[in-house]
Amino acid sequence: MPGRQAVALCDSALKVEAPGRAGFLKEACAGDEALRREVESLLACEERAERFLTSPALEMLTAPGAPGEPEQLPAGLEIGPYRIVAHLGGGGMGQVYRARDTRLERDVALKFLPAASAQDPEALKRFQREARAASALNHPSICTLHDIGGHEGQPFLVMELLEGQSLKERLQTGPLSCGEVVDLALQITDALEAAHAKSIVHRDIKPANIFITGRGQAKILDFGLAKLLSEPRAAAEGAPGEGPLPAGEETITRAGTALGTVAYMSPEQARGETADARSDLFSLGATLYQMATGRLPFQEGIAELTREAILRKDPVRPREVKPDLPLELERIVLKALEKDRAQRYQSAAELHADLEQLRPRPRAARWPLAVGAAVVAGAVTLVVGVRSGWFGEPPARTLELTPRQVTANPAEAPAIHAAISPDGQYLAYADLSGIHVRRIDTGETRSIPPPPGHCFR
């Protein structure tokens, strides 16, 4: 294992631009050649590890200048009913374009499989898996798949076009407020619950794969690493990966090995074991930690050391980074980051239920109290008015009953509550304009307007 001094110097060197690292190391190592060689070895390992652990193989194939990669498709090119508008960028599963669906007159996103891997059976299998996984999901917080097609031997997906920014971009401005964290986390856990119910595990939950629309709607992107748990494992994948892979056989492109982005990997993914729904919850826990504190729970500067920290170390408690965080939010994040799957949240629904307790509760409506008080006040007014002779002496009691309409009760000002006095001479009722006491035989009415800021609904 590298010494702490070498690791610390390597972390510092990584912050220096490549052309200036030699001078930095010469000064920092102060003639200690053994230390310098150790740091240089770590830097070389970091470069290889970053290429290996943080970038899916297909993403490497989409890098500019990748062998066999054609030029970007030109704007205006028509592919079936889709007209290319602009190139949006590249991702782990290929190049993405903004296009116009000329049939439905709407803008969509076309995601192409890289040309260099279009003939690779394994890449095509994963591409088709993404299509199946995405098409099986219908949820407001999962990017919608509209269609699938092909162009000159390259298959593509037709996806919902989103306007806004990724969570990764949002976090560049700093941590989110507790309310934002809870709101987005509730949307994401609800989406994961829907995916897991169909035996679909994303396996690469991270800020770059979570999009926030202009209206604050969270959208999970790129189910390119998703795996249908019910799908039989191909013979080439070997036995279920319940143990670490032999040295040198780790690859991010094949099932049964370490998939995902190293800083957000679950311990079982880092060991090359089979991922399940709880693996997504660990990755979400790492994302929530970053959303709440502005930093990652496991980040050692070098990918291999980060991976080792995920397996061996506990993260700094979130409230030590940001003391104003609610204690319950810290508890939720740390439970999601439990290394032992059995101690972690067992389902997205369970995590969602705990997060729901942090949602601000709306204040209880006051109008029922106001109406109740108004009815009591109306009854008191009626009794006092009768006893005080406000409406004159009541006529002699008669046994003759004559039906009679005493209020119009229009739709724009309906009578909400009403009562007739025991002697049948007075009607008390409340509507939008106040409380009224009316003498039934003469129509004489006394009214009490509602208190300021209230109406009697």
Question: In angstroms, what is the C-alpha Rg of the chain?
Answer: 33
Q: What is the pLDDT of residue 222?
A: 80
Tokens 């509507």 correspond to what residue? Answer: 431
3-class DSSP state of 160: strand
Helix, strand and coil percent figures for the chain, each rounded to 5: 40, 15, 45
Q: What is the pLDDT of residue 399?
A: 55
pLDDT in tens, the chain (457 residues): 446 777 777 777 777 766 677 777 777 888 787 787 777 777 766 654 444 344 443 343 334 444 445 578 999 999 999 999 999 887 656 789 999 999 999 999 998 877 666 677 777 777 777 777 778 888 999 998 898 888 888 888 899 999 999 999 999 999 999 999 999 999 999 999 999 998 889 999 999 999 999 999 999 988 766 665 545 443 333 333 333 333 222 223 333 345 557 899 999 999 989 899 999 999 999 999 999 999 999 988 788 888 999 999 999 999 999 999 999 999 999 999 999 999 999 999 999 999 999 987 766 555 566 666 666 666 666 666 666 666 666 555 555 656 666 666 666 667 777 888 888 788 888 877 788 888 877 778 888 887 766 655 5
CA–CA separation, 435 and 455 (whole Å): 10
CB atoms within 10 A of CB 194: 19
Judged on CB neighbours under 10 Å (0-12, 13-18, 19+), 406 is middle
Tokens 């959208």 correspond to what residue? Answer: 219
Catalytic residue among 204, 222, 280, 431: 204
CA–CA separation, 257 and 85 (whole Å): 38
Q: What is the pLDDT of residue 257?
A: 44
CA–CA separation, 300 and 287 (whole Å): 16
The residue count of the chain comes to 457
Tokens 């396996």 correspond to what residue? Answer: 203
Q: What is the pLDDT of residue 116?
A: 65
Q: What is the pLDDT of residue 84?
A: 95
Is 204 part of the annotated catalytic residue set? yes
Please state the pTM of the whole predicted model.
0.61
C-alpha closest to that of 316 among 290, 351, 346 = 290
CA dihedral 304, 307, 308, 313 (to 10 degrees): 140
Q: What is the pLDDT of residue 261?
A: 78
Judged on CB neighbours under 10 Å (0-12, 13-18, 19+), 13 is buried
> Residue type for 269, please?
Q
Q: Which residues, 6+ apart, have CB-to-CB distance to 16 below 8 Å?
A: 24
Give the residue ranges of DSSP H helices in 294-366: 303-312, 318-321, 327-336, 348-356
Helix axes 327-336, 348-356, angle to 10 degrees: 170
Q: What is the pLDDT of residue 27?
A: 79
**What is the DSSP-derived secondary structure letter of residue 266?**
-
Q: What is the pLDDT of residue 457?
A: 57
3-class DSSP state of 346: coil
Q: What is the pLDDT of residue 245?
A: 31
Q: Which residues, 6+ apart, have CB-to-CB distance to 352 below 8 Å?
A: 186, 189, 190, 193
Q: What is the pLDDT of residue 36?
A: 78
